[in-house]
Structure 1
């Protein structure tokens, strides 16, 4: 793939005319970098070049305050790196290290600046993300968090990626190699498996020591000099990509009972990871929370795992990782626990001789769980969708799913997920139903948007399938989009109800605190801030019929559709991150003090910088509220 094609497909260079493309092509030099090589490191003086990847894989790294190098992003074929210092003149904010042998087009910084003089948008693209005051304040506060070596090691397995621990290059053989030749490779290279690959590097299969023993050595009349790798290999083995997190790989290998995991970048084999490799980096707590949750045999074990989530949140947060990543990991753990709870309840029903009827069904979770934005103490928000079975089967369906639903709700409560105060749970008949029943229910919510119905919809619209037939969830999402399309005035009513209240900040930037009750002298980071961001972004997502569910994914999709400018979206994202960071830190502190997690804080207990951050974040939320009101007040109905 040539340089010109790379640039034509890449923002912001895709705006350039042909003569500048040609000038860049003539000036570019092709450089090769071996695998596992630092092209530059964080805080290095700029090399004076822009790097565009022709072939290979590069990871972008940063050093956390404890001195541990962490991978934060990847650059693949056609992508570039090293640009920011060209326009800022400052040292590199992160390092660039090759995962495998990589070729890059290298363009001199002076030429890039010359192009930028003619097309200023080039420079604006690289500098605009540093303009947000909220982002700067948030980064400053997060960096100030302290941690010790033990804390970092506890969090490390969650954040390390497979590219950082995989054996590369992996030991490979051809399909024509004999069993004896494979055994010789295993012995000489001191490995426990060999990958069987085509000449182009694509993966065909895997041969382990166990395969050699079970399929060759232990069988009579098998000639190790005659039987080939193609005959004894396990074909089409499971694989993951190099940017997969270790915590994901742990669960994946455990679920598939694997000991050897090939790592593929596209179709190309780039490495291999063994269960032993993972165990070397895997802390006891990581093993408990991620590995054992899927294998738990009872609710007591799941409850024990659930009780450790606050500790994981503390270690991840102290590692100064981004708040979205922390939410993603905590949600991943919650989802694993909830899914295993569901499975245990289903197994118990079957042990009691109660088999599910032969219909398609889907177990949903909603709200923060659906958005993968769960923190320490989420409550239950769940439901069931059924296929459109005939009325004559209703008694049969209820005979199983009514007690099953009660069992699920009780089990989740026992594990540590409180009951939903609004009874948005599967044991409530309103949250079970056939597709046509959900269709009628949603039509009623949309066309008769009373306050309670709007509140229901705010929780429900953030749903994801957790178990069963996920295609039913997609059918349900299509129903939601169809009804909102037919009556967009619903979004106006949703806006009117959700945005009746303002953020808790008054004139001259003073915080507006609760005047009475349990939280007198405090304000809510959730009900005063994050919930408005979630609600506003959801309204725009529903209007655009987006399939994305997380707030950040919706925001990114809205930028692509030109609903929000990139700078506006970055400001909203930073505010959401900052408010969530302050909330999560507060919840962790309360749990450590033996108290129940809460999203209420006394802002005057924060440092001055943190109070500034809170004010800026609330002001960003207020602007989003105003923009949402202006937009949906014009909705025709």
Structure 2
């Protein structure tokens, strides 16, 4: 019996890709399974963090907007019109939606069951290739020159600065995969899987992969009675197993699973079934990898409900850093991404604290990070350095207002400590009355540091000249910046003081070009990469950028890049300093990840000969820029 509604839907579908490549019987089968959804204007099809549906969608009429939420505002990423497909995320990931899909006008949408569509896809190379091409090109319809649409917008947080890491970082997989011989019986295989609490085993013949057995195989072939538990596993396994190369990216793993309709990939030395097994990739590995991508972590930070949620996010950052380094993502790019995540975590911690206090801030204020966080150079877990600036209030209110912000600072810093950012040993934190001041008090503080740098009533800290706005009213931070540059301009005493501080530590090589290492204590015979190399470049970049009056560039590598632009005659030195700084940061980061430390102390015995040469090569730029500073600020008598 004919179904005129289904036939009408099928006629509509075949006008659009990829349905144009599906034959009439299959198209009718799909049409008969479709659920027709009516949406009024502003109705949601799905929202951020909703569990993925068992269907994907095609717009039959009207328009659906894809949006992300940023600072309480919905930002439109893409508009889907008649014939556009949306909601493909369930094909590529098991975790929740990362976008809102909202009707921009009255709309009719076809909900297409994935369970019905997917088998047809696997039998139709044109449809499969369309989806793979869509995924690879980040568009919904790569064949439409004028209206491709953004597939990315459904699959990741739409942020151009994060896409490189998200899609091309290598996937972390199980490297010591459990394997078994093809002559083993099913009963033994099941016992191994149960004891080791695993869902799959790669089957090999003389060390080469020939198949795979999963929980699904045991359920469908053994539990149903099709095969006896005494059957040899080669009769039950799925074969051939899909093999891939080592260092596979997330997107490549997703495409391979979709293309072959499998949930596991066998990693081998050369990517073929003719080489030794290196490991196994599961759908779970892809889900975990996606959970650690920067866009998702940023989104999770904004949605976090408590300190525990923020702690979990921060712990995932180490995996993100390791993955990015493994894929040779530039360290400067990694610093930028991690800084954004750190800032998002701090902002949410402040939001949570204000909500907990139950009383809104009594006046406008700004929270700033200082030191390495202020320079956006903090990759590893190190201590926190921060401060609060609040607007001027009447004398009568001052003590009450300051008390509120000290309380806020105390709770936030304790929260950050629980998250993983340890307390500053020197107490340079917003919970300290010295670092929680009104805007006028802060201006006076910076004037004192700049105009009387040798007076020690307050210990001058160059950390406070490296700061980054985090939360609140950024105009207060701008006032601080204006004060600093107003009083430091042509201030030879202050610049000479900073210069002398920058020259206190010479390049870290002895007379015979040997590394200067720690002579005693806990870190005896190790190389202090922070104190003996990084700080020299940080201090040099700071004084030189202040001398030029360049505002709002606090990152050391970015400062050297800007200096190379400003001083063409010294560009070679500054470019070498930028390169050396980033190389040193990479050394420190790899050391910290390897030993779960702050990475400050390198064990030179663990470095290869090539790494030692690379490390020594970073010291010449330190010498060159220190000589430049000595001459530029006439510091012969200071050193």
CA distance in 2, matches of 1:299, 1:612: 43
Query: Which residue, 523, 534, 537 being the options, matches 2:538?
Result: 534
In the superposition, the TM-score normalised over structure 1's length comes to 0.57
CA distance in 2, matches of 1:190, 1:479: 60
Match status 1:558 vs 2:558: no
| 1:341-385 CA-partner distances (Å, limit 9, x unpaired) | 1111111112xxx2321x221111111111111121221111111
Aligned CA distance change for structure 1 residues 269 and 555 (closer, same or farther; 3 Å): farther
**Does structure 1 retain, via aligned residues, the 8 Å contact 2:561–2:578?**
no
CA distance in 2, matches of 1:612, 1:571: 15
Where do 1:505-516 residues align within 5 Å? 505-516=509-520
Counterpart in the other structure of 2:586? 581
CA distance in 1, matches of 2:619, 2:536: 10
| 1:320-347 CA-partner distances (Å, limit 9, x unpaired) | 1111122222222222222221111111
Aligned CA distance change for structure 1 residues 409 and 237 (closer, same or farther; 3 Å): closer
Aligned CA distance change for structure 1 residues 348 and 493 (closer, same or farther; 3 Å): same
Counterpart in the other structure of 2:123? none
Greater relative CO (CA pairs within 8 A, separation 6+): 1
Aligned CA distance change for structure 1 residues 444 and 517 (closer, same or farther; 3 Å): same
CA RMSD between the two structures: 4.0
Counterpart in the other structure of 2:411? 407
Unaligned runs of 5+ in 1: 1-183, 192-208, 219-227, 242-249
**Does structure 2 retain, via aligned residues, the 8 Å contact 1:327–1:372?**
yes
Query: Which residue, 466, 475, 481 being the options, matches 2:479?
Result: 475
Counterpart in the other structure of 1:446? 450
Match status 1:348 vs 2:356: yes
**Does structure 1 retain, via aligned residues, the 8 Å contact 2:304–2:348?**
yes
Where do 1:147-226 residues align within 5 Å? 188-189=15-16, 213-215=39-41
CA distance in 1, matches of 2:336, 2:66: 33
| 1:463-483 CA-partner distances (Å, limit 9, x unpaired) | 111110112111110111111
Match status 1:380 vs 2:380: no
**Does structure 2 retain, via aligned residues, the 8 Å contact 1:371–1:549?**
yes
**Does structure 2 retain, via aligned residues, the 8 Å contact 1:239–1:262?**
no
Unaligned runs of 5+ in 2: 1-10, 19-34, 45-60, 68-72, 79-92, 104-137, 141-145, 158-249, 252-285
CA distance in 2, matches of 1:276, 1:256: 6
Counterpart in the other structure of 2:27? none
Counterpart in the other structure of 1:238? 75
Aligned CA distance change for structure 1 residues 394 and 262 (closer, same or farther; 3 Å): farther
Aligned CA distance change for structure 1 residues 269 and 478 (closer, same or farther; 3 Å): farther
CA distance in 1, matches of 2:36, 2:391: 44
Aligned CA distance change for structure 1 residues 526 and 216 (closer, same or farther; 3 Å): closer
Counterpart in the other structure of 2:154? 276
Aligned length: 409
Counterpart in the other structure of 2:325? 317
**Does structure 2 retain, via aligned residues, the 8 Å contact 1:259–1:275?**
no
Aligned CA distance change for structure 1 residues 399 and 607 (closer, same or farther; 3 Å): closer
CA distance in 1, matches of 2:548, 2:36: 53
Runs (4+) of structure 1 moved beyond 6 Å?
Answer: 184-187, 209-212, 232-237, 253-256, 258-263, 451-455, 634-637
Q: 1:610: how far off? A: 0.9
Counterpart in the other structure of 1:302? 310
**Does structure 1 retain, via aligned residues, the 8 Å contact 2:375–2:467?**
yes
CA distance in 1, matches of 2:459, 2:568: 25
CA distance in 2, matches of 1:438, 1:331: 25
Aligned CA distance change for structure 1 residues 234 and 497 (closer, same or farther; 3 Å): closer
- SS class of match (1:490): helix
Q: 1:564: how far off? A: 5.7
In the superposition, the TM-score normalised over structure 2's length comes to 0.57
Counterpart in the other structure of 2:621? 620
- SS class of match (1:410): helix
CA distance in 2, matches of 1:635, 1:397: 47
